[in-house]
Amino acid sequence: MNVMIVVTHLLGTGHLARALTLGRAFAGRGHSVTIVSGGTPVLHFDTAGLEVIQLPPVRSNGIDFSKLLDENGALVDTEHMNARLTALTDALTTAAPDVLITELFPFGRRILRDEFHQLLAQAHAMHPCPLVLASVRDILAPPSKPSKAAFADTLVADFYDGVLVHSDADLVPLDRSWPVTERMASVLHYTGFVAPPPPDHDAATHGEILVSAGGGNVGDAVFETALAAARQTPHWRWRCIVGGGQDRVAQVAATAPDNMAVEAPRPDFRALMQGASASVSMCGYNTAMDILQTGVPAVFIPFDDGGEVEQGLRAAALAALPAIDVVPQSELTAEGLITALTSVIAQPARPPRTDGMDGATQTVEIVDRLLQGHNR
């Protein structure tokens, strides 16, 4: 297959990370893969074996997704967006994919609907027409009004051959967070959870408390509380992995105590987690997969700025497992974090999860089967 995956991450980096994991799974089966990325470049991500096309990048203005900023933090203008559209449609023409996958859209990224509409219309005008699929995580941001759900329903009916849901239908069905109509249910394909291969379980244990908040410019409350907790626990060793650029890393490091290391995201993050005494993090999709695969004791602090509920729903589902606790941001204190960490570290070990974690491989098999039956 010749596969194209189109993804734009706006705040964190989870959407791009998942798209790359899917791309590597396709490439590992000998397929040709083009990743078209419209978010800020993430240099530490592994893109080996993939053709990556970078569009003129955009990002959100913090949690305000109604405005788009360029790489310099300025509001994007028409010229910038036109350059994105040209690069996107040129990429489709050049790649001429058998399979076109859009990450999150049309269930999100509505602010980019003009370029996605153009992409989809161009794909449908191609001969042969590619198999067109949407790719979504386990839990979506619930639509704030019925028109948003109707928008997704209409686009899927008009342009898509299916929706890949990277979840286990028995554990986290899509209708937990999204109103799934009968028509939509008929085109859903559950892949299982998408995660890279598990880290080496023979990795040396370093005994640190590993603090992270994804790859974006979020998580200030997590890091501030971890700094305060580290000062109160000189007998513990802490490591903060801080996204958002070197200036932000330096800002956190400037007030870190001697028992805390602070650094930018690194390729061996999952190996660090494997050897940690415990993890403190938000509860994005990819981080949750890392927690499950490593079996590390974990305290989740779900991202809920701007009324976001996705991570809270996911954390509530995972809290039923041993050695996992949840502390809402509204209740976050250094003392409360220390108490939660002490509790999860003392609980019986949770075995690393292996069942249902091969969603990337299952995605390749599902897409292959759908392409064979595709009327082009």
Tell whether pTM > 0.85. yes
212 and 163 in a common domain: no
367 and 303 in a common domain: no
221 and 170 in a common domain: no
CB 223 within 8 A of CB 248: no
362 and 331 in a common domain: no
Instruction: Please indicate, yes or no, if residue 203 is contained in any of the structural domains.
Output: no
pLDDT for 143-157, tens place per residue? 989 999 999 999 999
Instruction: Please indicate, yes or no, if residue 35 is contained in any of the structural domains.
Output: yes
C-alpha 146/C-alpha 77 separation (Å) is 30
> What average pLDDT does the chain have?
93
94 and 125 in a common domain: yes
CB 261 within 8 A of CB 367: no
Question: Which residue bears the tokens 């098999």?
Answer: 365
C-alpha 39/C-alpha 348 separation (Å) is 40
Instruction: Please indicate, yes or no, if residue 351 is contained in any of the structural domains.
Output: no
pLDDT for 228-241, tens place per residue? 999 999 999 999 99
Instruction: Please indicate, yes or no, if residue 89 is contained in any of the structural domains.
Output: yes
How many domains are contained in the chain? 2
pLDDT of residue 312: 93
Residue 202 has pLDDT above 60, yes or no: no
Q: How far is CA 233 from CA 129, 228, 296, 334, in A?
A: 60, 9, 20, 10
48 and 17 in a common domain: yes
Average the pLDDT over each of 179-183, 265-269, 343-347 and give the range with the smallest value.
Answer: 265-269
186 and 48 in a common domain: yes
39 and 110 in a common domain: yes
| Residue 159, domain CATH | 3.40.50.2000
226 and 130 in a common domain: no
In terms of residue numbers, what domain contains 254? 208-346
pLDDT for 159-197, tens place per residue? 999 999 999 998 889 999 999 999 999 999 999 999 988
173 and 57 in a common domain: yes
Q: How far is CA 241 from CA 128, 171, 203, 295, in A?
A: 46, 30, 19, 19
Instruction: Please indicate, yes or no, if residue 202 is contained in any of the structural domains.
Output: no
